[in-house]
Structure 1
């Protein structure tokens, strides 16, 4: 059973979708208006009988109200057991064919491209075999070739982790993050270590240990050598970008602005592109400025950020996931400013850019559910969008 507040939110959203008032739901279900009000407010957990009656009146099921909408992309879920099996014997891989590292590198680059452009189904299907091959390559190589194979393995693991994390396989994601750190250590590459620390933040998000996540990022930044190369500079900028968002989510404005300023300073000398799988450069930092404003929920800064969005949009050559994230955050800003119609428009733009990213984004689902409630289920286009995203 979910928390009373979450269950109440789902009941209220289902009522909005059904375009029913509380008196109408009372008449259809036989549940008192007082009980409905308490359930929706999250101050009372309904009995099984009450939940069944509400679900039947709302033309849904008790399981849907308790468990939330069903899963999305079945291709990903079908591929997960193979991914779990592929990493089980990472340090003792079975014998098998292994291509040259140049050929493997091309496939790793294709996986990274799938990840940053939110093609999760294809990524999940190709990941297990490539990971198995890379484990063999690391096991069979020595010297520089082993370091290069480990670098490629870390990048491939990062792409696989994106699927595990976004689709809710948090234990698998945590395991993949540790394997990325293991591969990075073999590669003996400071910039790659920073990338692993960047990805590790997911485990702190998942456990809601934001303070630990911020300390981890700060420690990784402190460990980096002086940024005498573009790649090391980009690694430092990426750590500060993520630290700014984490601090913003903690409502630590001073820390958030400090890290954002450091990211801006470093990004000025970094050409915008992917570095060890992370898009870094002036445009990426600009996108993070909006993300930090949203996390801090400072209405003055949000108003300025929304005004900026009328003059600037992410360039089309940025990865689709990063561009769509900008419009997701823009939608969140519009919601905070009481502009639901503009929020919906921003989410539609995000969907056009990267449909799978939008469909698997928890904040998008929350925004859409809220929009449906505000609209009382009257807009058929909004309802279709929300159902597509499994928000209702």
Structure 2
């Protein structure tokens, strides 16, 4: 047995257990670690004992304080369990190779017409929206190789379009890396996204790259820097959505939504809610859900981010209230809906309804199984549900087995 617990979570060490181990290895007391994060000593103690789940904000804060990678605390990447997860991990070496050989295209490689490449990139993007990472990982390396060859041999407007397609395809690699918790691979993929976006000569694609880059600051608890970057994006686009194009509105609104998450992680409720309202106003100008540059911005995303902000602030009652106000349309991308259910499951747990929390995780598995299986907050939620369920019901045990927790 690797962990401090027994039962379904016994083989899988909790985040709290890892925090305690890393803290002790550095000779720190709980009080000193709390000062470095900063947070209350009581929170550190309760998370280490398994009485409270570790939030993403705490994981990032502790990782920064202990000068270690977040994956050291979450245990990512997780061991392969099951056919589909094995397929995801099996695709990673070739994806990494394609990222490393970005400036060494095969000069003898035949290149298909741009219409075929455009269709393949659209298919890759659709797989990402569906959180079908195994299938995406299998198709990406060859597509990246061919796009690299095509872009470097083209000129004029065709060259710009091919680099835009290459940037979008590289984004698929960032999605796989994020899902598996491979932060080094994600950083490498982000560099390639930024390079190809710059070569595309599309200012909005470059802005989208900066918006995507901001997520890296979440992992290091650098919330102030993330907010500065997102403000810069909005300033360059313009701060009056009534004067912006639909694609610019999406970029502007998405930057506000991400700023709301940053502010919530920093426990700044007023600022987080202010950003939500700015995004809501932008969504009204947009008139409905859209997917410019893969941003998935619109009224539905505002709703989901409002719920996420409440969860980040550990206000489960507000999260479930907000989630119940307006149903989400069936057009919401599975990757977004799955993430929403993962957030909402934590909200139900904070609210004190364990049955609803587990039911919402089942919803997440139904719409985005590969995403759900690899998300550290799913494991934390299941771990708490198992601990609170004295008899450890068969459905909980089965779900924990599906996650690979025993």
1:37-48 superposed matches below 5 A? 42=20
Q: TM-score, normalised by structure 1?
A: 0.81
1:29 is matched with none
Change in 2 beyond 3 A, CA 1:84/1:250: same
| Structure 2: 5+ residue stretches without partners | 11-16, 26-72
Cα distance in 2 for residues equivalent to 1:218 and 1:389: 38
Say if 2:306 and 2:322, in contact at 8 Å, map to a contact too. no
Q: TM-score, normalised by structure 2?
A: 0.78
1:76 is matched with 88
Bigger CA radius of gyration: 1
Change in 2 beyond 3 A, CA 1:17/1:67: closer
Say if 2:280 and 2:302, in contact at 8 Å, map to a contact too. yes
Aligned residues: 343
Cα distance in 1 for residues equivalent to 2:74 and 2:169: 36
Cα distance in 2 for residues equivalent to 1:324 and 1:346: 10
- Give the SS at the match of 2:285: coil
Cα distance in 1 for residues equivalent to 2:144 and 2:19: 47
Give, in angstroms, the shift of residue 17 of structure 1.
5.4
| Structure 1: 5+ residue stretches without partners | 1-6, 19-38, 47-64
Give, in angstroms, the shift of residue 322 of structure 1.
1.1
Say if 1:16 and 1:376, in contact at 8 Å, map to a contact too. no
1:224 is matched with 237
1:315 aligns with 2:329: yes
1:142 aligns with 2:135: no
1:242-253 superposed matches below 5 A? 242-253=258-269
- Give the SS at the match of 1:378: coil
2:253 is matched with 237
Q: Give the alignment partner of residue 172 of structure 2, picking from 159, 166, 170.
A: 159
Q: Give the alignment partner of residue 11 of structure 1, picking from 4, 11, 30.
A: 4
1:338-353 superposed matches below 5 A? 338-353=352-367
Which shows bigger deviation, 372-381 or 120-129? Answer: 372-381
Say if 1:238 and 1:263, in contact at 8 Å, map to a contact too. yes
1:90 is matched with 102
Which shows bigger deviation, 148-157 or 84-93? Answer: 84-93
- Give the SS at the match of 2:319: helix
Deviations 1:145-181 (A, max 9, x none): 1111111111111111100121122111101111111
Change in 2 beyond 3 A, CA 1:40/1:308: closer
Give, in angstroms, the shift of residue 104 of structure 1.
0.7
1:283-294 superposed matches below 5 A? 283-294=300-311
Cα distance in 2 for residues equivalent to 1:92 and 1:275: 31
